Amino acid sequence: MSRKLNALKQKNPIQTRISVESENEEKIQLLLYGDIGQYYSWSGISLDGVVSALAGKSADTIEVFINSYGGDMFESIAIKNYLIRRPEKIITYVDGIAASGGSLIAMAGDEIIMPKDAQLMIHNPWTIAAGNADDFRKLADEMDKANTSIQETYLTHFTDTREKLGELLAAESWMTAEEALAYGLATSVTEATEPTEPPDDPVEPPAEPKTNKVNRIAALLNL
């Protein structure tokens, strides 16, 4: 995990949630919030958790709401592929951030919808390892293959060249909704939810009625 992503995660942790928020014949709404994979969190988003949440359920559409800094690459790809295999139309929403593995899951969508204030982040795979020189040479080859895997995932939507995608991955690209849309990594952008603003002329509270001391004493005595 990159330093920037790790710092953001430490400062603003996202509580894990894998839950079906609503369900009817037309659509199922599935929340995927938090870290992905058991390695990053014992209660992280997992393929088993997603399968369990959707077990025995069917609808015309599944809406998947994502807010995640990412996590395990292979778990993310497995969740993405599971959603794609389902018969329902899949619409993914980036509620806040879909970074790293979170952005891989977002690619499951037939539609990928981002509010204007959401972000998508893509980067090359990261890992932590220990060993000798031979171990690290082998690991570098394995990381190259992992990079190919995530490129294939993004290329199902990415509208520019593989070379351009490689540049964006190497640079660890944090994209606004409009930037993701320009590259095909989002299919539509919606307005951010606007906070409720106070009225131009706020209603003044009614003035306290003027009472003399006798009336106030009478009121206190319930007279």
CB 32, CB 101: distance < 8 Å: no
- Which domains are present in the chain? 3-193 (3.90.226.10)
pLDDT score recorded for residue 170: 94
Looking at the predicted structure, is the pLDDT value of residue 210 above 60? no
What does pTM read for this prediction? 0.81
What letter does residue 210 receive in the DSSP assignment?
Answer: P
* Residue, of 111 and 217, whose pLDDT is higher: 111
Find the mean pLDDT for residues 188-211: 55
Of 46-50, 52-56, 143-147, 158-162, the least confident: 143-147
Question: d(Cα 183, Cα 167) in Å, to the nearest integer?
Answer: 13
Q: What is the pLDDT of residues 63-107, one digit of tens each?
A: 999 999 999 999 999 999 999 999 999 999 999 999 999 999 999
Task: Calculate the alpha carbon distances from 83 to 33, 39, 73, 107, 165 in Å.
Answer: 16, 22, 16, 10, 24
Closest CA to 156 of 51, 65, 81, 74: 81
